[in-house]
Chain A
Amino acid sequence: GAGVSQTPSNKVTEKGKYVELRCDPISGHTALYWYRQSLGQGPEFLIYFQGTGAADDSGLPNDRFFAVRPEGSVSTLKIQRTERGDSAVYLCASSPDRVSNEQFFGPGTRLTVL
């Protein structure tokens, strides 16, 4: 079956612009996670959705970052007034449910802010 997909695969933007990154989880997976991976580092947690609601957004770095999952499937990570420090690979993962805990990762979106 299809895995987690993310679009676009690459996004180049200018400082101060607004960007949206999309994640399409594995069908039927209720848990969805966003992580950010900077060069040479491990992924860092941003936000977790269980169904439509953001159950844990403790990893969002500031209020320029926001994510939604309106129908409990596709999720969009939104970044306002982008800064050069936002440049990273943004990873999405889904899981059948919170309890099972095994997370399946997408290929990521590489965001470059010039």
Chain B
Amino acid sequence: AQKVTQAQTEISVVEKEDVTLDCVYETRDTTYYLFWYKQPPSGELVFLIRRNSFDEQNEISGRYSWNFQKSTSSFNFTITASQVVDSAVYFCALSEAGGGSEKLVFGKGTKLTVNP
């Protein structure tokens, strides 16, 4: 069965600090996708990134970066120089690839609060 664990329930930082959100996943599939979504107070889930299981290259997009390590089944998300607008709940998700519905299995989320 697929499972995503986000051990950090809530994190609070001061603006301009770097922060890393942890994500550990379980799957028996050899081919799968990993995602991060942001859910601001308005409630709508915003897509941030998708990685497939064959691509372990780390990715950077502006202040955001992602570290994918298959050896530890982790897909961590780092925000550099955090800003108040980064305050939201962040969800890590997993889906199998090929043959199925590719439904997303979400973690419970990490609530990030960035204080001015």
Contact = CB atoms under 8 A, between A and B. Distances in A.
Interface of A: 33, 35, 40-45, 48, 50, 55-56, 59, 89, 91, 93, 98, 101-108
Interface in B92-113: 93, 95, 97, 100-109
A56 B96 CA distance: 13
Nearest to A57: B101
B103 A48 contact: yes
A96 B106 CA distance: 20
A43 B102 CA distance: 14
A48 B101 contact: yes
Interface residues of B, number: 24
Given A42-B109, A44-B106, A101-B33, A107 B101 contact: no
Contacts of A56: 100-101, 103
A22 to B, nearest CB: 17
B50 interface: yes
A101 B108 contact: no
Contact of B101 (A43, A55, A91): A55
Given A42-B108, A102-B50, A108 B44 contact: yes
B108 A40 contact: yes
